[in-house]
Structure 1
Amino acid sequence: MNTDERNTLTRELVYTGFMSIDGIVDSPGGVAEGHSAGGWVPRTPFVPEAFALKGAELAETPALMFGRRSYEAFAPIWSTSEDHAAYRDLSKFVVSSTLDRGSLIDGWGDITVLRTVDDVAAVKAGDGGAIFIHGSAELARGLSEAGLIDRYNLLVFPVLLGEGKSIFSRAAQTGQTLRLRESEAYSNGVLKVVYDVER
């Protein structure tokens, strides 16, 4: 699939997540997620308005996408969580070359397993509105490198982690330009930044 073909895709693919100042998305909720400094989101003083972006996304999200590991982490919790009740009946996509359908959570809406980046591109070419990617750093990085990410909804936290998972490639690039859609700073040092990817 060439760049011109990708530019005509109709569904918007949005990465949403928490990020450190140095671009790491690893283990925001706790050490159990794998990073020795995990849990940096709950260690930041709680300011309700800093999380307003997440509430707005609940109303805006018609479909979700995960990599396998993020699906396996989120699905058992989100499928029964009242905080995520709005997600229960949404279409969901899991991108994995190894996940079998028998491992999917029952009663959590329609779930489609996609095997390749080309499968993701084919879904983007269809109808159905925006698709929001949660967690899934490796998946997001691969989709970004393939030119498939359209927007980044980021809450940037005032912490430096030094190493860990990033959604951005560390390889040399020609310079992808992002256009700032909206931003806001909060009293706890968190920044909301929403960027559209320019084609």
Structure 2
Amino acid sequence: MRDLIVTQNITVDGVVEAGDWFAPADDGSDVLDVLNEQASRADGFLVGRVTFEEMRGYWPAQTDDTTGVTAYLNQVQKYVVSTTLQEPGWEPTTILRSPGDVREIKDQPGKDIVCTGSISLAHALIAADLVDEYRLFVYPTVVASGRRLFPDGTPHSLRLTNTMPFASGIVLLTYRRTA
């Protein structure tokens, strides 16, 4: 069974979506190294329709990207959860009609499946108890309001498995779901 990993950029106060708080770190080479290492352990990339359409409109057109992000996103098996998307237009992509379809993908052989962004989808995956691990890139920022990774009423017991501070002040916290 494959692990489903939720990776989020998150503020110290737990916000993942609130206006323009997020900006990649100026000295992000160490963060990029970790992201590339994590990508090497994943062969599935899971997003919701809005995030997929935003990424599809940007990444395939990047021809001078030296970070490896474009190459990874263009070749990785993408899964998009959508009830309305008909033609993905960015291969290889599989359209899933509900978060419940993710369970079937997890049961297939392969490497990790990573869900990034897509907060509404992340909430649905958390509610369906499908997430095995959380990789939280915690930014030294407090915004005091906005959408949180764990909305009210979603208690979870997690086990910290790794911490990694970066020169930029970002800290990667990795948590595994407990039984």
Q: TM-score range by the shorter chain?
A: 0.7 to 0.9
- In 2, the alpha carbon distance for the partners of 1:97 and 1:177 equals 31
Offset at 1:186?
A: 2.7
Which of 83, 104, 109 in structure 2 is aligned with 1:97?
A: 83
Which residue of structure 2 lines up, in the alignment, with residue 68 of structure 1? 49
Alignment RMSD? 1.8
Contact in 1 for aligned 2:47/2:80 (Cα 8 Å): yes
Which residue of structure 2 lines up, in the alignment, with residue 31 of structure 1? none
Which of 18, 23, 45 in structure 2 is aligned with 1:41?
A: 23
Aligned pair count reads: 174
Offset at 1:172?
A: 5.3
Which residue of structure 2 lines up, in the alignment, with residue 183 of structure 1? 163
- Amino acid across the alignment from 1:133: C
Matched, 1:19 2:10: yes
- In 2, the alpha carbon distance for the partners of 1:73 and 1:114 equals 18
Matched, 1:84 2:75: no
- In 1, the alpha carbon distance for the partners of 2:117 and 2:31 equals 18
Return 111-120 or 182-191, whichever deviates more.
Answer: 182-191
Note closer, same or farther for the CA distance 1:66–1:172 as it changes in structure 2 (3 Å cut).
Answer: closer
Offset at 1:47?
A: 4.4
Which residue of structure 2 lines up, in the alignment, with residue 141 of structure 1? 123
Higher helix share: 1
Deviations 1:37-96 (A, max 9, x none): x04324x54343244321212322211000111111112222233332122122111011
Q: Secondary structure at the match of 1:182?
A: strand
- In 1, the alpha carbon distance for the partners of 2:127 and 2:40 equals 28
How do 1:136-175 and structure 2 match up within 5 A? 136-171=118-153, 173=155
For normalisation by structure 1, the TM-score amounts to: 0.79
- Amino acid across the alignment from 1:115: R
Note closer, same or farther for the CA distance 1:47–1:116 as it changes in structure 2 (3 Å cut).
Answer: closer
Higher strand share: 2
Q: Secondary structure at the match of 1:121?
A: helix
- In 1, the alpha carbon distance for the partners of 2:28 and 2:84 equals 39
- In 2, the alpha carbon distance for the partners of 1:47 and 1:141 equals 28
Deviations 1:149-176 (A, max 9, x none): 0111111001111222222121253xx2
- In 2, the alpha carbon distance for the partners of 1:124 and 1:41 equals 31
Question: Structure 2, unaligned stretches of length 5 or more?
Answer: none
Question: Structure 1, unaligned stretches of length 5 or more?
Answer: 1-9, 28-34
Deviating 4+ runs (over 4 angstroms): none
**Structure with greater contact order relative to length (CA < 8 Å, sep ≥ 6):** 2
